[in-house]
């Protein structure tokens, strides 16, 4: 596959892209506008991509509908052939993927390589293994239940883990026999274009995968409301998710929403406090805090509160913002100027409400006046009523709250409209598991348990509807037909 992205790792020449990937080939965009793609570390213009609109969406959905019947009629074994080639492409282009995300997201190269490039590969491999042994029919009494493709899928993905979210939607949809139209985030469209070229090289039939770049209010809205779309899978903010759900509901479309989070990490008495706090800081500052499931609220017993705050301050000191292309950098910029000001606004608001600034703050990090950098920040004396304890900040900001007893800890942990994730630390895993069952959250890590790409990912309450990853993620793209004998 000839690459147009290799130079991004070396911050190469500006590129002006004018095409969309529709019906098995790269076609000139049917709209005249363009979207600038900036390097968050330097504020330099990297590229432009088409600002596709309703006409581009119409063409992509029409191509997907033409492909739907034949692709849906293929066997799992037949679908595994191009999906395996796609997996091989992701593996072969890991360096290129990482370099692209250093450039357009500002992810540190070590994190881009270990997470942004490696996780999509692991998710793809998990679906290959699942599809290889998955039964699409089941005998239930005098019925045979057939799992069939749910139809044309609109996949709308965010900028924070751009390739992972693309893979988490597109790969299971294709594995289920559904054609896809992908609308990636405006801030990170270059890795989506690279993914489209890997799909093209894998040899999928024309129309099975389509890419339309554009803005959410124009291309995204046209896609969600399109009568030719049967399933909408959206990841983004809760506010936009509500609009997506309303629009999809009017069309009686199936919808999966992976939305915001305000996750709590609860350290129970008897746990290894130092390890819990250090892991929490790493969890929040990874990806510059731009992780929906990050443990942004650290809850510790009041008797250990000041010790925990001191440990958090010491751990935060290891995260010095810097050039994301430098292998020594652990934290880069946030994705955009708008996001930087949003995060700084949350810090300012918290201090106005009485929070104590332990480290960090609203100023630019030393020596980094250019780029969308935010100081890694720890806030103490935070209470449940403060906006910073209730609202998603989406930046490198950790809040530390004190609880009186386990009942109070559970009450604080659940005192948010979100319910995506969390952590629990205790003297033993049985104690941690018992407490975790009290949390209104879709996934909870016990004593630092590792992320599992085969387990369902999604949340309670305003964190969304449905699940991604593993068998549960595949089944979001299936519908069921019972034949009675």
In a domain, 374, yes or no: yes
Predicted confidence at residue 14, as pLDDT, reads 81
The pLDDT value given to residue 1: 53
Residue 177 DSSP symbol: T
Going from the C-alpha of 416 to that of each of 2, 381, 394, 413, 461, the distances in angstroms are: 48, 18, 15, 7, 9
Sort 305 into a burial class: Cβ within 10 Å, 0-12 / 13-18 / 19+.
middle
pLDDT digits (tens, 9 = 90+) for 235-287: 999 999 999 999 999 999 999 999 999 999 999 999 999 999 999 999 999 99
pLDDT of residue 7: 42
Residue 287 sits in the same domain as residue 348: yes
Residues 363 and 221 occupy one common structural domain: no
**What is the largest distance, in Å, between two alpha-carbon atoms of the chain?**
74
Place of tokens 């995300």: 101
Active site residue 78: no
Q: Tell me, yes or no, whether 57 lies in a domain.
A: yes
What domain range is 425 assigned to? 264-453
Residue 401 has a CB neighbour count (10 Å cut-off) of 25
Query: Which backbone phi and psi does 261 adopt, to 5 degrees?
Result: -155, 155
| Active-site entry in 96, 104, 292, 392 | 292
Residues 131 and 226 in one domain: yes
* Distance from C-alpha of 261 to C-alpha of 443, rounded to nearest angstrom: 11
| Position 470 in a domain | yes
Residue 130 within any structural domain of the chain: yes
Task: Check whether residue 173 and residue 247 sit in a common domain.
Answer: yes
Is 240 among the domain residues? yes
Q: Are residues 237 and 268 in the same domain?
A: no
- Provide the CATH number for the domain around residue 20: 3.40.605.10
Please report where in the chains the tokens 């751009």 appear, as a residue.
162
112 and 125 belong to one structural domain: yes
Quick check: helix, strand or coil at residue 301?
strand
131 vs 177: CA distance, rounded Å: 11
For helices 406-413 and 429-436, what crossing angle results, to 10°? Answer: 50
Query: 318 and 197 in one domain?
Result: no
| Whether residue 470 sits in one domain with residue 382 | no
Helix axes 76-92, 190-202, angle to 10 degrees: 130
258 catalytic, yes or no? Answer: yes
3 state SS of 339: helix
**Both 238 and 193 in a single domain?**
yes
At 116 the pLDDT is: 98
Give me the tens of pLDDT residue by residue for the chain, a chain 485 residues long: 544 544 444 445 689 999 999 999 999 999 999 999 999 999 999 999 999 999 999 999 999 999 999 999 999 999 999 999 999 999 999 999 999 999 999 999 999 999 999 999 999 999 999 999 999 999 999 999 999 999 999 999 999 999 999 999 999 999 999 999 999 999 999 999 999 999 999 999 999 999 999 999 999 999 999 999 999 999 999 999 999 999 999 999 999 999 999 999 999 999 999 999 999 999 999 999 999 999 999 999 999 999 999 999 999 999 999 999 999 999 999 999 999 999 999 999 999 999 999 999 999 999 999 999 999 999 999 999 999 999 999 999 999 999 999 999 999 999 999 999 999 999 999 999 999 999 999 999 999 999 999 999 999 999 999 999 999 999 999 999 999 99
159 and 189 fall within a common domain: yes
State pLDDT tens for residues 348-371.
999 999 999 999 999 999 999 999
Inside any domain, residue 166: yes
Number of separate domains in the chain: 2
* Residue at 121 is within a domain: yes
CATH number at residue 365: 3.40.309.10
Same domain for 291 and 186, yes or no, is no
The secondary structure of residue 331, as a DSSP letter, is B
> Any idea what the Cα angle at residue 167 is, between residues 161 and 172, rounded to 5°?
140
Would residue 1 count as lying in a domain? no
Q: Write out the DSSP string of 423-475.
A: EEE-SSHHHHHHHHTTS--SEEEETTPPP-TTS-B--EETTEES-BSHHHHHH
Q: Are residues 292 and 249 in the same domain?
A: no
Catalytic residue among 96, 104, 186, 258: 258
Instruction: Give the tens place of pLDDT for each residue, 422-451.
Output: 999 999 999 999 999 999 999 999 999 999
The closest alpha carbon to 321, from 334, 335, 333, belongs to: 333
């Amino acid at each position: 596959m000839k690459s147009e992205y290799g130079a991004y790792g070396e911050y190469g020449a500006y590129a002006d892209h004018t095409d969309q990937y529709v019906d098995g080939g790269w076609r000139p965009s049917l709209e005249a506008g363009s979207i600038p793609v900036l390097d968050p570390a330097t504020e330099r213009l990297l590229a432009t991509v088409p600002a596709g609109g309703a006409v581009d969406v119409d063409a992509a959905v029409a191509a997907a509908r033409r492909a739907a019947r034949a692709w849906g009629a293929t066997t799992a074994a037949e679908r595994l052939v191009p999906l395996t080639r796609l997996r091989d492409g992701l593996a072969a282009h890991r360096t290129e993927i990482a370099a692209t995300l250093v450039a357009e997201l500002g992810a540190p190269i070590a994190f881009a390589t270990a997470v942004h490039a490696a996780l999509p590969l692991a998710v793809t491999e998990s679906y290959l293994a699942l599809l290889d042994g998955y039964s699409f029919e089941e005998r239930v009494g005098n019925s045979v239940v057939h799992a069939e493709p749910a139809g044309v899928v609109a996949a709308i993905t965010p900028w924070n883990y751009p390739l992972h979210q693309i893979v988490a939607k597109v790969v299971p949809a294709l594995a289920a026999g559904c054609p896809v139209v992908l609308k990636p985030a405006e801030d990170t469209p270059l890795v989506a274009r690279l993914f489209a070229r890997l799909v093209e090289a894998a040899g999928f039939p024309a129309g099975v995968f389509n890419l339309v770049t554009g803005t959410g209010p124009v291309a995204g809205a046209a896609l969600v409301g399109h009568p030719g779309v049967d399933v909408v899978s959206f990841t983004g903010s809760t506010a936009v998710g509500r609009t997506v759900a309303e629009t999809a509901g009017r069309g009686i479309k199936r919808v999966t929403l992976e939305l915001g989070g305000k996750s709590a990490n609860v350290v129970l008495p008897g746990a290894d406090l130092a390890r819990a706090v250090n892991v929490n800081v790493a969890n929040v500052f990874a990806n510059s805090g731009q992780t929906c499931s990050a443990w942004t609220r650290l809850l510790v017993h009041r008797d250990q509160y000041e010790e925990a705050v001191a440990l958090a301050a010491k751990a935060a000191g290891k995260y010095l913002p810097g050039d994301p292309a430098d292998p020594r950098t652990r934290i880069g910029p946030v994705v955009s100027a708008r996001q930087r000001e949003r995060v700084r606004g949350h810090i300012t608001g918290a201090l106005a409400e009485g929070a104590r600034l332990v480290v960090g703050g609203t100023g630019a990090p030393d020596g980094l006046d250019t780029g969308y950098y935010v100081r890694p920040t720890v806030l103490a004396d935070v209470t449940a009523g403060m906006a910073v304890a209730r609202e998603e900040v989406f930046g490198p900001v950790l809040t530390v709250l004190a609880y009186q007893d386990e009942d109070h800890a559970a009450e604080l942990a659940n005192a948010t409209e979100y319910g995506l994730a969390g952590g629990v630390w205790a003297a033993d895993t049985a104690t941690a598991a018992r407490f975790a069952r009290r949390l209104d959250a879709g996934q909870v890590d016990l004593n630092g348990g590792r992320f599992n790409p085969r387990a369902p990912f999604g949340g309670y309450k305003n964190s969304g509807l449905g699940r991604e990853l593993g068998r549960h993620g595949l089944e979001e793209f299936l519908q069921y037909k019972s034949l009675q004998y």
